[in-house]
């Protein structure tokens, strides 16, 4: 299978996972390249059609503590694609994430000093990588990416079904493993003669 398509599936699955983790709905996610404009890009390898979160960016200040949460959630979603792709491939691919960073740079980083901007960027990437590296989150990202590779486009409810099924299969395998461990313990403590 095409490496670019696989990387795109993980990239978009990262955006979707970040939206699910922050309770931000979306209409659909796709890995079908677009020829027209998406987020002011001439071409896109994939994208998430989002439902607006109703943030009025004019007049917001990142440095006001009550507004930090709004910026952080938006920034977390923005970098989540490139971070998921990096975890999967082992390297950052900033080239495919231009539109992801454009909004972030124009709002959050523009309002910070250069030093604070660097620290925030480092923290955001590390935080996102840690969240995505948690077993349950990475399992869900992988399930979404695999489903995208199979179906190419998923609606919001289909993504929820993929995540639910991923967790059911995981917990069933955990239960099977527990039974195997108990059977092994029983065999060791009560060997048949």
pLDDT score of 45:
60
* Six-digit token string for 43: 């071409």
pLDDT score of 129:
95
**Is the entire prediction scored with pTM above 0.95?**
no
Residues counted in the chain: 193
CATH number at residue 22: 1.20.58.760
Task: Report whether pLDDT(140) > 90.
Answer: yes
Q: What would the pLDDT profile of 70-97 be if each residue is shown by its tens digit?
A: 778 888 998 999 999 999 999 887 776 7
Percent of the chain with pLDDT over 90: 38
Task: Report whether pLDDT(15) > 80.
Answer: yes
Compute the 3-state secondary structure of the chain and give helix, strand, coil in percent, each to the nearest 5: 70, 10, 25
For the residues 35-56, what does the mean pLDDT come to?
Answer: 55
For the residues 160-178, what does the mean pLDDT come to?
Answer: 79
From CA 145, how far away is CA 84, in angstroms rounded?
10
DSSP state of 60: -
CB 46 within 8 A of CB 28: no
Domain coverage including residue 39: 3-189
* Six-digit token string for 49: 């059609």
In total, how many domains does the chain have?
Answer: 1
- Kindly report which listed range (33-42, 123-132, 147-156, 174-183) carries the lowest average pLDDT score: 33-42
From CA 33, how far away is CA 12, in angstroms rounded?
12
């Amino acid at each position: 299978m095409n490496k670019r398509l696989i990387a795109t599936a993980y990239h978009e699955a990262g955006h979707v996972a970040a939206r699910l983790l922050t309770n931000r709905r979306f209409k659909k996610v796709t890995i079908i390249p677009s020829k027209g404009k998406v987020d002011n890009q001439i071409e896109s390898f994939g994208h998430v059609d989002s439902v607006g979160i109703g943030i009025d960016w004019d007049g917001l200040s990142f440095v006001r503590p009550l507004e930090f949460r709004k910026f952080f959630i938006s920034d977390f979603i923005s970098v989540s694609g490139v971070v998921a792709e990096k975890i999967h491939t082992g390297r950052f691919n900033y080239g495919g994430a231009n539109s992801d960073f454009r909004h972030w740079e124009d709002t959050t980083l523009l309002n910070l000093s250069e030093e604070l901007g660097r620290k925030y960027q480092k923290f955001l990437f590390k935080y996102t990588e840690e969240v995505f590296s948690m077993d349950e989150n990475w399992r869900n990202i992988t399930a979404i990416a695999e489903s995208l590779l199979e179906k190419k486009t998923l609606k919001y409810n289909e993504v929820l079904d993929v995540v639910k099924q991923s967790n059911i299969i995981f917990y069933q395998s955990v239960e099977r493993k527990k039974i195997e461990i108990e059977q092994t313990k029983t065999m060791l403590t009560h060997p048949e003669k």
